[in-house]
Amino acid sequence: MEQFSQLFEGIVKFQWQYLIMYLIGGILIYLAIKKDYEPMLLLPIGFGAILVNLPLKSIWEFAPELDEAVTKIVAKYPELQAFLAEKFHYIFENGQAFKVEQGVLQILFNSGILTELFPVLIFVAVGAMIDFSPLFKSPRMIFFGAAAQFGIFFTVLAALFLNKLFPSLNIDLKAAASIGIIGAADGPTSIFVASKFAKDLIGPISVAAYSYMSLVPIIQPPVIKALTTKQERMIRMEYKDTKVSKIVLILFPILITIIAGIIAPISVPLVGLLMFGNLIRECGVVERLSKAAQNELANLVTILLGITIGSTMHYEKFLRKETILIMLLGLVAFIFDTAGGVIFAKIMNLFSKEKINPMIGAAGISAFPMSSRIVQKLAKQEYPENFILMQAVSANVSGQLGSIVAGGMVLALVPWLLTLAG
């Protein structure tokens, strides 16, 4: 009878929670295919979520096998137990040692996410795709790239405040910072920070980050309209098409890397590799490498990153109250990012002779080029001849810089503050 049940182990060990996870995975796949919401990421994440919630979870880890030799060694040297559990994936029950071999997705997770390899490689690809020249044409737009990171820090505070109200949520500063970084509107930065501070929350944080990035056209317009008057939205801005020298485009990524590396050394994997990708693009002598970074590297790592993130969505980790909280706080982060940018533009207008259309501030988030397109669309709705797309693109490119700088700040400040607090 026991052998017979072994044959149908998948059915015997089926849990009702799997059905919920299939539904969630299915919704992500639906959004990717039918609604075209970040399909490159949501599709593999959705499928990964289904894969890891199959009975026996063999794609994540194999069934434990008794290792008699190690059992004898540990009986003699019990102090080795913790070391073997951590480094060699042993579990111990009733004095017996069981080896748990990693499945393919756990190997990818350990080597690509825990080591931060995948998000960092994505930065090389993103760097090769970014054209910073719009920023050189309207440099003052760079301030919106900073202002529109407000949502990150507001959300950290909101998460900590909620934890104060409901201590059972168990959100400490590291977890709050990982949730807040959803507001960077930059998937790889969110994954990078979460992999440092809250590995258990990587799944919901990534899903929230990519979902809200794709929902920017729905989230931003009402916030922008609520914070601006019709007159403000009709402000026209002059645009000078300044030409940018090639040497400027080449020196920029090198200088930024050096400065970021000196100010916040911990941000080097983020900034440094983004700028390396950008240097490949701008130098003009390694066209093949630039194209490879923009296409082959980006595509390959995106597939691996997506399915590995999906594999962190096992129901035991995902079907928790923290996931709902992360989804809600992620929305708060995007709303306050938008508000931060718009309000900062209005403040700048108090001191500036050349008025800025405050909607430009909303384009200071990292979601490129969606955010700038939304701003242009809203400007056109108010005044059909108004063309502020180029300034919005400048702010949007600044947002890509701002998000990794803010990510670097969070990475540097959280351990520092915790050390200060003792």
Question: Considering the rule CB under 8 A, would residue 410 count as an interface residue with another protein?
Answer: yes
Least distance to another protein from the beta carbon of 110, Å? Answer: 29
Task: Considering only residues 122 through 151, tell me which ones interact with another protein, judged by CB under 8 A.
Answer: 135-136, 139-140, 142-143, 145-147, 149-150
The token pair at 417 is 């503050």
Q: Is 46 helix (H, G, I), strand (E, B) or coil?
A: helix
Site string for another protein, 170-209 (x = CB under 8 A): --xx--xx--------------------------------
Q: How far apart are CA 417 and CA 67, in angstroms?
A: 44
CA-nearest of 160, 176, 143 to 361 is 143
Complete DSSP assignment for 131-193: --HHHHHSGGGHHHHHHTTHHHHHHHHHHHHHHHH-GGG---HHHHHHHHGGGG--HHHHHHH
Alpha-carbon span 154 to 160, nearest angstrom: 10
Q: By three-state DSSP, how is residue 164 classified?
A: helix
Pick the closest to residue 247 from 275, 279, 274 (CA basis): 279
Beta-sheet pairing, 90-93 with 65-66: unpaired
Q: Of 17-25, 50-58, 202-210, 258-266, which part binds another protein (CB under 8 A)? A: 258-266
Q: How far is the CB of 244 from another protein (least distance, A)?
A: 6
Residue 4 to residue 331: CA distance in whole angstroms: 49
Task: Give the other-Cβ count within 10 Å of 227's Cβ.
Answer: 19
Q: How far is the CB of 164 from another protein (least distance, A)?
A: 6
Q: How many CA atoms lie within 13 A of 18 on its CB side?
A: 13
Region of 70-78, 95-103, 116-124, 154-162 interacting with another protein (CB under 8 A): 154-162
Lookup: tokens for 328: 């809600």
Q: Min. distance of Cβ 161 from another protein in angstroms? A: 6
Q: What values do phi and psi take at 61, rounded to 5? A: -155, 150
Binding residue for another protein (CB under 8 A) from 21, 126, 209, 260?
260
Told to check if 309 binds another protein by CB under 8 A, we report no
Q: Which is nearer to another protein, 117 or 413 (CB)?
A: 413
Tokens coding 103: 């499945």
Token reading at 133: 């020249």
Show the tokens assigned to 371: 């955010």
Q: At its nearest, how many Å lie between another protein and the CB of residue 54?
A: 38
Confirm or reject binding of residue 345 to another protein (CB under 8 A): no
**Shortest reach from residue 124's CB to another protein, in Å:** 20
| Cα distance between residue 69 and residue 219, in whole Å | 58
State in angstroms the smallest separation of the CB of 204 from another protein.
20
The residue (of 297 and 401) whose beta carbon lies closer to another protein is: 401
The residue among 20 and 412 lying less far from another protein, judged by its C-beta, is 412
User: 218-257 mask for another protein (x: CB under 8 A)?
Assistant: ------------------------xxxxxxx--xx--xx-
Q: How far apart are CA 416 and CA 422, in angstroms?
A: 10
Tell me which residues touch another protein (CB under 8 A). Answer: 135-136, 139-140, 142-143, 145-147, 149-150, 152-154, 156-157, 159-161, 163-164, 172-173, 176-177, 242-248, 251-252, 255-256, 259-260, 263-264, 398, 401-402, 405-406, 409-410, 412-414, 417-418, 420-422
